[in-house]
Amino acid sequence: MSCQPVNVKACSPCSDSPCGNSNQQSCYIYIVPSTQVTVEKQLEVLTNYAKSNSYCILCTILEDSTDRSPCKRTGLSTILKSIEPGQTILVHSVNSLMFNNLHQLEDVVTIMKKTKAKKADIVCVTDNYDTKTPSRRFMLTTWAAHLQFQSESL
């Protein structure tokens, strides 16, 4: 699988985890620069999660900016176009899926709808949320609503 998004700092298949087994789960690692967690720490956490859960890493994408607007998230757009049924997007936290403080819940729901339409999943590793079951999708949506409420209350 090739993955060469425009304006993305890194997109590299994992060479030590070849995707030869058709039964093996495959994933994209999606990293967004953050003021709270370094890119290196996010990469370490996500790579360790992928390996400990026997994922084949298809591509690691690092957004090239902290700009939270949807039109600037070329890496995520590339993943959403490329992802296939049964594949997973690994993110460090729910915050990685949010674009701005005004529409955080809408951002997460839109991404969840796009991955569900492709029969793919999202795993927010450090928040322990994913989209694999209806109850887990509900919890992820609830957490995103909580984060939006928090930011609007400040």
pLDDT digits (tens, 9 = 90+) for 24-58: 799 999 998 888 899 999 999 999 999 999 999 99
Closest to 118 measured CA to CA, from 67, 76, 82: 82
Cα separation, 136 vs 122, in Å, equals 10
Whether the pLDDT of residue 22 is over 90: the answer is no
Whether the pLDDT of residue 20 is over 80: the answer is no
Whole-number CA gyration radius for the chain = 15
pLDDT of residue 54: 93
pLDDT of residue 68: 55
Local confidence band at 6 (pLDDT 50, 70, 90 cut-offs): very low
Cβ(84)–Cβ(58) under 8 Å? no
**Mean pLDDT, residues 108-119 taken together:** 88
CATH number belonging to the domain at 8-13+23-153, selected among 3.40.50.150, 3.40.50.720, 3.40.50.1390, 1.20.1250.20: 3.40.50.1390
Closest to 86 measured CA to CA, from 41, 34, 28: 28
pLDDT of residue 151: 75
Whether the pLDDT of residue 14 is over 50: the answer is no
Cβ(90)–Cβ(27) under 8 Å? yes
The lowest-confidence range among 47-56, 64-73, 100-109 is: 64-73
Torsion of CA 9, 11, 14, 15, to 10 degrees: -90
pLDDT of residue 53: 93
Higher pLDDT, 106 or 37: 37
